[in-house]
Structure 1
Amino acid sequence: MNLYDLKNKLLLLNDLIYYDENEFLREKCADENVLKKIIEKFEEKLETISNYKREDQIFIYGSIGNLYRIIGNTTSAIECLEYAVSLSEYNSTWGSVKI
């Protein structure tokens, strides 16, 4: 599955993600199995991450981090999101990509 198709898979989540009023409007997923499958597809991209432009690398790590956050895996979410931020900061420092 290419990255474009994977980005389109994220659109499916619009129908599955909701804000749980009983847990301070925390994002939840009506079907975590679908979410976990999408995470797996994104993680497959990590095997060839160096083949992607820096912007796409940031998108991949950021997406994985946000999806982990939604299913409650905060440790993995923080790791991925921090790495996405570090990639972004690297780009800003070197000026190769304007973010």
Structure 2
Amino acid sequence: MIPAPVSIGNSRERQQLRLTWQDGSEQHIAHVLLREQCPCSQCRAFRLRGMKPVVASSLQLVEVRPQGYGLQLMFSDGHQRGIYPWAYLAGLAGD
């Protein structure tokens, strides 16, 4: 189990979520990538059918809610169903 980051930041200007992990490493994840890789059941089913959600390049992460084992993310397109576990976030490619 991956422990929670020591710091979480959201830059709307850069359109990135920033996670600082306990080992001091930083990870920057684009808002668009987070939305495309949403782990909710609806989005996963969509990807399993070989489809990719259409996400505007202007999409922003508007709210970050810690949920103990991960983050619930709210996006400017209204999507807020996915909870991103720490291990899932750590596995996403950063910029």
Where on the TM-score scale, by shorter chain, does this alignment land: which range? under 0.3
TM-score (norm 2): 0.24
Structure number having the greater helix percentage: 1
TM-score (norm 1): 0.23
Report which structure shows greater RCO (CA 8 Å, sep ≥6).
Answer: 2
Structure number having the greater strand percentage: 2
Quick check: which has more Rg, 1 or 2? 1
